[in-house]
Chains A and B, each alone.
Chain A
Amino acid sequence: MSANPVRIFVPIDAAALSVGAEAVAQAIASEAAARGLAVEIVRNGSRGMLWLEPMVEVETAEGRIGYGPATAKDVPALFDAGFASGGAHALRLGKTEELDWMKRQQRLTFERVGVTDPLSIADYRAHGGFKGLEKALALTGGEIVDAVKASGLRGRGGAGFPTGIKWKTVHDAKAEQKYIVCNADEGDSGTFADRMLFEGDPYLVIEGMTIAAIAVGATRGYIYLRSEYPHAHRTLQRAILKAEAAGLIGASVLGSQHAFHLEVRLGAGAYICGEETSLLESLEGKRAIVRAKPPLPALQGLFGKPTVVNNVLSFAAVPWIMDHGAQAYADYGMGRSRGTLPIQLGGNVKRGGLIELAFGITLREIIEDMGGGTLSGRPIRAVQVGGPLGAYLTAEQLDVQMDYEALASMRAMLGHGGIVVFDDSVDMAKQARFAFEFCAKESCGKCTPCRIGATRGVETMDRIIAGAEIPKNIAVLRDLSKLMTDASLCAMGGLTPMPVLSALNHFPEDFDRPPLPLAAE
């Protein structure tokens, strides 16, 4: 038996687990034991090539060699082929870093995800962790805020508000208690970057939130995590305990005079809790009814105190910015969209997963080059960008660049960077109906246009789908959409017309339906 065990990486990311990574890890452990081979199995995050999961990597002298997608059944044959030293096998992918999917990316936020052991503080530090925090500790709060401003970072949760300006407001506010709240509700269909980050590199978010706390003078933080993510919840709780035990957070951040107490709180299955004021109500223990703004959460947020509310990816971008400098971050991107965007590619696509790139790549490059087209092999018909409140685009519109303003100019939105691909079997009238149905189910109920409007929308779509009085019902649909857009208190009701109208405007043929036979009524 050789002295040094072979390091074999098997992802513990929920998506990898969903297609059998646990069985693969167990098979590797027992097969190695049976063969008397010393192995160390590291449970890493996913590299983001989700179609290759479970993807196993083996550390060799020339680097890490990937094999995938591997099932437990493949494991004996992999050992027979000498995979523990990088041997040839049908599942051998080559050096992970040199795979096309990896090489094309500009990974700043996700640089460690899939590379390190997510819960090892030593590994985190060895791969550049805490450098941003250490640099921040040497600065004043105002200097940190200025750096974040200069980086051009805009909130990654959807609205794209400049993070530095939000932090400045909280920094300047006078209060005996301030809060940092991480919005990890990630309710949009097609998005999973927050989850992958928590499961693959949780200390990065903790570090980002700690820097925010130092910048604005906050001593308490909450991560509001959706309950649909039990795996991420476990990882985060363990990471926070370990970070506290190591003196990274708690009464003294890295031995400094700053205190920062951090807690994870679970949501309870309500999409609207992603809206920041609704999230704050939920954290306070109430029904998550949206608050009217002003007052801004930055001035009167959690328990009425000045509060920074940012998305997971916004916090996670900050350590890199502090470490490498604001200008280095701002050098990536286009127009007013600076830095990199973690893009999530899902739905009917051959190679779905997570891609981090500077703003500016086109949708077509992402879906066709990286994604390889549809999984079904049929033509792409529609692509929804930006979650359930985002627009549906046609196959002809895919040359648009990933950038807040470019998408807005097409009456679409970037949202949290989720892309969902549909093939030509999609029925766009049904998708429009779903948008209303979703809004009706998930509305907080505070305002009439959203609460009642969405229900009327479902009824109107049912009539259109039944082929009843099409022109009249389409006029009702447009009228209703205008009302919801203009009169809703928040973007839930205000943006639901975006998927609806984009479906109607780009795919009118799906709304022009022959009447159903009477029996169906």
Chain B
Amino acid sequence: MAAYPAWDQDSARMIVAGLAHLEGATLPMLHALQDEFGYVDPQAVPLIAEALNLSRAEVHGAISFYHDFKTAPQPARTIKLCRAEACQALGCESVVAELSAKHGIAVDDHHAGDAIVETVYCLGNCALGPSALVDGELIGRVDAARIAGLCQHGRAHS
């Protein structure tokens, strides 16, 4: 699990400058910033706008459009639980219900602590669902107890 450095405007500026030569560089920049700091601080907006000769509104608009980009620091661990149709057919909604009833974990609740279980739609593991993506690793045939355990793990390390 990644432990991110605090936002640093100078290293953010370096990251942005390093990608400015790409065609349509906005998304690569946002991904690189989020990889580095775990989120995209609003201070990135003027940096990117200036580097790419865009208005701040355009940059802000891109950040807010995409589900991936977070504008505040995130919990130590993010577990992305698939809730699309194939995983529904394999009981992902009972996993969600059990997480809340037995383990006190509400999916998509940002106030739940230093681990978060987030909804995503399809991880490409539809024959081995329910599926989850934990710190970039795919897990198949997942159940509520396993996810709750992974949340605990997130806490212990933070």
Interface set of A (CB-CB < 8 Å, partner B): 14-15, 17-19, 50-51, 53, 186-192, 194-195, 220, 227-231, 263, 265-271, 282-288, 303, 344-349, 352-353, 375, 384, 388, 418, 420-423, 426, 431, 434, 438, 442
Contact = CB atoms under 8 A, between A and B. Distances in A.
B56 interface: no
Contacts of A421: 89
Contacts of A442: 121
A480 B25 CA distance: 39
B89 A191 contact: no
B90 A269 contact: no
A407 to B, nearest CB: 17
Contacts of A263: 22
Majority SS at the chain A contact face: mixed
Interface residues of B, number: 45
A388 B90 contact: no
Contacts of B28: 265-266
Given A265-B27, A347-B127, 11 more contacts: A17-B138, A51-B127, A189-B85, A191-B124, A282-B27, A286-B61, A287-B62, A287-B65, A288-B66, A384-B85, A418-B86
A188 B122 contact: yes
Contacts of A434: 85, 88
A268 B124 contact: no
Contacts of A267: 27, 66, 68
B15 interface: no
B137 interface: yes
Interface of B: 22-28, 30-31, 52, 54, 58, 61-62, 65-69, 80, 84-90, 120-129, 131, 133, 136-141
Contacts of B65: 270, 287-288
A18 B139 contact: yes
B30 A190 contact: no
Contacts of B120: 228, 269
Q: What 10 A-B pairs are tightest by C-beta distance, nearest first?
A: A352-B127, A285-B26, A346-B126, A268-B66, A18-B140, A189-B84, A347-B89, A269-B67, A268-B68, A269-B68
Contacts of A191: 122, 124, 126
B86 A438 contact: no
Contacts of B68: 227, 267-269
Contacts of B128: 15, 18-19, 50-51, 53, 352
B90 to A, nearest CB: 6
A14 B125 contact: yes
